[in-house]
C-alpha cells in the first residue's frame, strides 16, 4: 500500500528532529574525544548522523514522488491548475544594511546562496512545482542580468513593501484581466522548494476562502533553525511564525491593499499588529486565549473577507534572510543538507 504523503512529511519532521539532537550529541562527543575519551561513542554517533541523513534524503525523494492529491481532493480541484505569482524583491537603497555589506552586493535579493542569488532559488521553486503561470518580480529589472530559464516580468523597485505588493498585484491584472487565484511571496526565502510550493497550494483547497497564508509551528522552526530568532504569535493551538506564502483571488488582493498597509508596516511586531485589531483581540492574546478561529473572525471583520492559515511542516518556509546571522544559518543548513535542491542547482 502506498504511504500517504502527509505521513511521509510527518516522518521527515521526526527524522530532522532526531538528526538535530544526534548532531548536538556528536559535537559533545567530539569535544570529549579531543580530550582522549569516548572514542567508541564518537564512532557510533557519526554512523547515526550518516544514517539519519540518508533517511531524510530517502524521505524527500519519496515525498517528491508521492501523489500530490488524494482522490477526493481531485474532484474539488478547480479548472485553474496554474497560479500567477508575484515576488517582492524591493530594497531601500538609502538604508545601510549589514546583510548587503556582509554579502558584498547592493541588492538584498541578490545575496548569494549556494552560488546563486536568493531570488533565483525562489523562482526555481515555483518553476519546478509546475504550478506557476506568469511570474512577476517587483524590485529587479533586466539590467541585473539574471537568467531564470523562463520568462519573467519585472516591475521597478518601490518605496515600501506595501507599495511593492500593490505594484505586483497591478502588474498581474495588466497581464490577465480575469479574476483568478494568485500567489504572493518574498525573495528572501532561498530554501523554498517545489515541494513546499505544492504543499501550500494543495492544502489551500478547496479554495472556498478568499485568502490563505502560510504559518510555521515554532517546534518545526526550532528543529530546523533553533537560532533563527523568528517572531512567534502565541495561540491556543501553539506558537507560529509567518511562512511568507499567500494565496487568494486577484480581486481580493486588490480589495484589501489599503487595509493591509498598517499590518505590513508593523510586520516585525506582533503586538503592534494586534493593536490594530481592537481591545477584545488584545485581551485574548494577553490571557493566552487567542485561537486560530478567533483570527479567522478578525480577518473577516477587519478586511471584509474570509481567510484561513495553512500550517506548513517545513522550517525552510519560515527561514527568511534579513540579517547576516540568518544568512550564515542558511549556508550552514545547506552544508548539512547536500540533498537540498539549492545544492543541486548550484
302-318 mean pLDDT = 90
Backbone φ, ψ for residue 32 (5° rounding): -65, -40
Band (74; pLDDT cuts 50, 70, 90):
very low
pTM: 0.72
Are 197 and 131 in contact, with CB atoms under 8 Å apart?
yes
pLDDT of residue 268: 54
147-159 mean pLDDT = 94
Higher local confidence (pLDDT), 56 or 313: 313
* pLDDT, tens digit, 9 for 90 and up, residues 252-269: 999 887 766 655 554 555
Q: Which of 44, 310, 345, 70 is nearest to 190 (CA)?
A: 345
Query: Mean pLDDT for the chain?
Result: 83
Backbone φ, ψ for residue 231 (5° rounding): -90, 130
Band (156; pLDDT cuts 50, 70, 90):
very high
Percent of the chain with pLDDT over 90: 52
* pLDDT, tens digit, 9 for 90 and up, residues 97-109: 999 999 999 999 9
Q: How far apart are CA 2 and CA 5, in angstroms?
A: 9
* pLDDT, tens digit, 9 for 90 and up, residues 199-221: 999 999 999 999 999 999 999 99
pLDDT of residue 72: 34
Q: Which of 194, 196, 221 is nearest to 20 (CA)?
A: 221
Amino acid at each position: 500500500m502506498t504511504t500517504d504523503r502527509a505521513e511521509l512529511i510527518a516522518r521527515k519532521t521526526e527524522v530532522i528532529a532526531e538528526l538535530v539532537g544526534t548532531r548536538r550529541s556528536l559535537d559533545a562527543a567530539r569535544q570529549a574525544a579531543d580530550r582522549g575519551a569516548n572514542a567508541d561513542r564518537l564512532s557510533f554517533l557519526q554512523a547515526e548522523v550518516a544514517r539519519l541523513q540518508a533517511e531524510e534524503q530517502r524521505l524527500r525523494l519519496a515525498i517528491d514522488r508521492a501523489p500530490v492529491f488524494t482522490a477526493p481532493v481531485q474532484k474539488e480541484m478547480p479548472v485553474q491548475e496554474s497560479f500567477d505569482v508575484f515576488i517582492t524583491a524591493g530594497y531601500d537603497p538609502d538604508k545601510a544594511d549589514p546583510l548587503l555589506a556582509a554579502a558584498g552586493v547592493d541588492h538584498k535579493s541578490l545575496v548569494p546562496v549556494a552560488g546563486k542569488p536568493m531570488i533565483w532559488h525562489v523562482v526555481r521553486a515555483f518553476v519546478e512545482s509546475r504550478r506557476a503561470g506568469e511570474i512577476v518580480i517587483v524590485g529587479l529589472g533586466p539590467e541585473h542580468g539574471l537568467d531564470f530559464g523562463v520568462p519573467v516580468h519585472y516591475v521597478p523597485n518601490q518605496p515600501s513593501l506595501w507599495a511593492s505588493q500593490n505594484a505586483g498585484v497591478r502588474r498581474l491584472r495588466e497581464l490577465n484581466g480575469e479574476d483568478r487565484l494568485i500567489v504572493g511571496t518574498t525573495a528572501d526565502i532561498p530554501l523554498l522548494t517545489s515541494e513546499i510550493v505544492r504543499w501550500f497550494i494543495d492544502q489551500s483547497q478547496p479554495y472556498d476562502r478568499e485568502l490563505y497564508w502560510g504559518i510555521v509551528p515554532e517546534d518545526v522552526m526550532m528543529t530546523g533553525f533553533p537560532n533563527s530568532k523568528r517572531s512567534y504569535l502565541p495561540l491556543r493551538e501553539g506558537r507560529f511564525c509567518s511562512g511568507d506564502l499567500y494565496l487568494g483571488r486577484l480581486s481580493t488582493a486588490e480589495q484589501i491593499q489599503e487595509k493591509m498597509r498598517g499590518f505590513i508596516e508593523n510586520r516585525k511586531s506582533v503586538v503592534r499588529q494586534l493593536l490594530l485589531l481592537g481591545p477584545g483581540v488584545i485581551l485574548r492574546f494577553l490571557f493566552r486565549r487567542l485561537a486560530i478561529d478567533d483570527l479567522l473572525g478578525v480577518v473577516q471583520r477587519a478586511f471584509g473577507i474570509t481567510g484561513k492559515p495553512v500550517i506548513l511542516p517545513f522550517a525552510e518556509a519560515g527561514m527568511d534572510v534579513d540579517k547576516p546571522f540568518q544568512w550564515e544559518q542558511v549556508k550552514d543548513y545547506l552544508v548539512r543538507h547536500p540533498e537540498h535542491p539549492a545544492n543541486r542547482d548550484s
